[in-house]
Amino acid sequence: MTVTFPDGSFPWPQNFRAAASFTFDVDAESCVLAHDPGATGRMSLMGHQAYGPRVGTPRLLRLLERQDIRATFFVPGYTAECYPDTVRAIADGGHEIAHHGYLHEPMQGVDESTEADYLDRGLEALARVGVHPIGYRAPWWEMNWHTPRLLAERGFRYDTSLLDDDVPYRLATSGPDSASLIEIPVDWALDDWEQYAFYPGWTGSGIIEDPEKALQMWLLEARARHAEGGCFVLTNHPFLSGRPAKAHALERLIEQVKALEGMWVVPLREITAHAESVCGPAHVHERLSSVSV
């Protein structure tokens, strides 16, 4: 599909052959409350989620500082309202802050005007802490066909929620001549939720994997994407990967990814700026007509 470059590889900036970005979704309580507002009554579950902004994010910020890299943090509006000091600490570390819904709303089947309200409410909450994001990640990576246009209308320059390529591309918001965004694709294999999320009565039957296993799996992905000139985008949640052994494994991963020759380790805003300069015509996604069975 996509922007195919003549020799099949993506033209990264001079001296780089692949890119990597470490991203963090600071969901905190929002991802629970969007599904069950009554969960505020569960003290332990609320504390498990609050660990992200309270303890996990500060630990991850120290880790990123030690490794001297900048990352991208996706912050739901509700998190920004509850934890403004955490948001300020992320910004003070030189990291990018981007949009991740207001209350991490489930987007599947949501109509256009409702989704527009979620986006605007998230933007307003971020603006109150001085953040004006250029990037968006849909909660649960769930995009609707109308979402790209809603993003473009609000001045977003990139999205990172689709799972249909290994490198960035230009995403049409409706027809080929319409406004476009940069899409930076993601992958469920590169999300710590599948490795570590476990909470009785909330995450289902998830198990907590050995951080060594997650490290090996992600390192294999990083090496393969590096070998192919691709883009490695890792998604971590501070209430999961901000815990001690998981953060320790993540730091070792970062060290090894940085050591790959010609790996460009930057926040998504920098990948976006570069992609805007090299990506060709926007790709129009064809919507399948409904299937009768």
| Contact footprint for Zn ion (CB under 5 A) | 25, 27
First to last CA, the chain: 28
Q: Which residue has the tokens 């790996």?
A: 263
Nearer to Zn ion, 230 or 238 (CB): 238
**Minimum distance between the CB of residue 105 and Zn ion, rounded to whole angstroms?**
10
**Minimum distance between the CB of residue 2 and Zn ion, rounded to whole angstroms?**
25
CA atoms within 13 A on the CB side of 254: 23
**Minimum distance between the CB of residue 174 and Zn ion, rounded to whole angstroms?**
26
- Pair 161, 137: CB distance under 8 Å: yes
**Minimum distance between the CB of residue 193 and Zn ion, rounded to whole angstroms?**
8
Beta bridge partners of 233: 21
Structure tokens at 261: 């020759």
- Pair 237, 27: CB distance under 8 Å: yes
Nearer to Zn ion, 180 or 241 (CB): 241
CA angle, residues 253, 219, 17, in degrees to nearest 5 = 95
Residue at shortest CB range from Zn ion: 25
Nearer to Zn ion, 25 or 115 (CB): 25
Nearer to Zn ion, 5 or 140 (CB): 140
**Minimum distance between the CB of residue 268 and Zn ion, rounded to whole angstroms?**
15
Question: For residue 148, what are the CA distances in angstroms to 159, 221, 225?
Answer: 8, 28, 26
Nearer to Zn ion, 183 or 191 (CB): 191
Nearer to Zn ion, 81 or 228 (CB): 81
Nearer to Zn ion, 137 or 157 (CB): 137
**Minimum distance between the CB of residue 28 and Zn ion, rounded to whole angstroms?**
10
> Which residues are CB-contacts of 203 (< 8 A; sequence separation ≥ 6)?
197
- Pair 76, 122: CB distance under 8 Å: yes
- Sequential DSSP letters for 234-248: EEE-HHHHTSHHHHH
Of the candidates 186, 108, 184, the residue with the CA atom closest to the CA atom of residue 146: 108
**Minimum distance between the CB of residue 143 and Zn ion, rounded to whole angstroms?**
13
